[in-house]
Amino acid sequence: MAKGNPIEEQNTLMANGSKTDEVEQPQGFKKFLYNKEAGTVLGRTAKSWMQITVFYIIFYTLLAAFWVGCLAIFLNTLDPKVPRFYGKGTIIGVNPGLGYQPWLKENPDSTMIKFNIRDPASYEPFVKQMDSYLEKYQNTNGTRTCTGTMSNADAAEGKTEEPCLFSLSDFEKAQCSSKNGYGFKDGKPCVILSLNRLIGWRPTDFPKESVPEQVKDRYKPGSIALHCDGTNNPDKEHIGKVTYIPQSGIDGKYYPYQFMDNYHQPIAMVKFDSLPRNQVVLVECRAFALNIEHDITSRLGLVHFEMYLQDKDPKDSTTA
């Protein structure tokens, strides 16, 4: 190489630099992992690693303590027996909805009660669901028999801590119990109706002159009357005789609802005595009290389901 030639000198330096990088790069990374001369691991000495470890232990301990403290303060503001927000203006609202049983959890999207009167296996799931739902009423510990003016309002006012006992005797007398398969085997199925639990809600009575026509002959002040009918005109024609148990509906002495041990939610039953064979009937049931509004869109104060009573050979029932 001619000395003094800047182009050749630059090329030589660039070539030498490339060779040097190729040789020293792996060696530099190894020294970063462990440098014997400096006594470092990953660029830190043992003392440095100890200091940073102690720092993060203290930091995250204080952070966790701060989080636990905030959580404890928040939980201390909650009442385990009452939701923080309920009543008017909240998602819970003040208007109860109406629910029904039997509703099979195995088929949650279906509202059809379909069974074959000749095939016990077809209505066995509904009977089991009714048994399961009513099982809690067998436990009467911590409850009291409410007679006369006694009601759950006594518990709400702090006079007692025991809820009113809800008896199933009326349903047994009306042949709506486990003993007779809740009427399914006779083609007269019984359906449970109940209101959603709303803290502090109790029914408001209709004035005598404004009781709805559908329940006028069965209405009892202080209770929630129920009425079931066909959803459409053809269904109204075919739904047949309907029996309400009890006649006056859900007794108001079981309100207002509040958190109590072994609280028995009040229910009523509707017995369909003369359903048509092999025909689907769309049913709409409504609850009546002055402070219950009916809204089809949001299903407030009412519920829809379908009844389908089959009467055919079990071998052919699966095809319908």
d(CA 308, CA 25): 81
The answer to whether the CB of 143 falls within 8 A of the CB of 164 is yes
Question: Omega into 221 within 30° of 0, i.e. cis?
Answer: no
In terms of Cα–Cα distance, which of 243, 319, 228 is closest to 278? 319
Cβ contacts of residue 5 below 8 Å, gap of 6+? none
Global pTM reads 0.74
d(CA 278, CA 187): 11
d(CA 320, CA 317): 6
CATH superfamily of the 98-317 domain: Na, k-atpase alpha subunit. (2.60.40.1660)
d(CA 10, CA 4): 11
Tokens of 249: 């509906």
In terms of Cα–Cα distance, which of 297, 108, 304 is closest to 191? 304
Please state the domain extents for the chain: 21-76, 98-317
DSSP β-bridge partners for residue 192: 101, 269
- Per-residue pLDDT of the chain in tens (320 residues, 90 and over written 9): 445 565 565 555 555 554 444 444 556 777 777 777 777 877 788 888 888 899 999 999 999 999 999 999 988 887 776 766 666 766 667 788 899 999 998 888 899 999 999 999 999 999 999 999 999 999 888 888 888 888 888 877 778 888 889 999 999 999 999 999 999 999 999 999 999 888 888 899 999 889 999 999 999 998 999 999 999 999 999 999 999 999 999 999 998 887 778 888 899 999 999 999 999 999 999 999 999 998 888 778 999 999 999 988 887 755 55
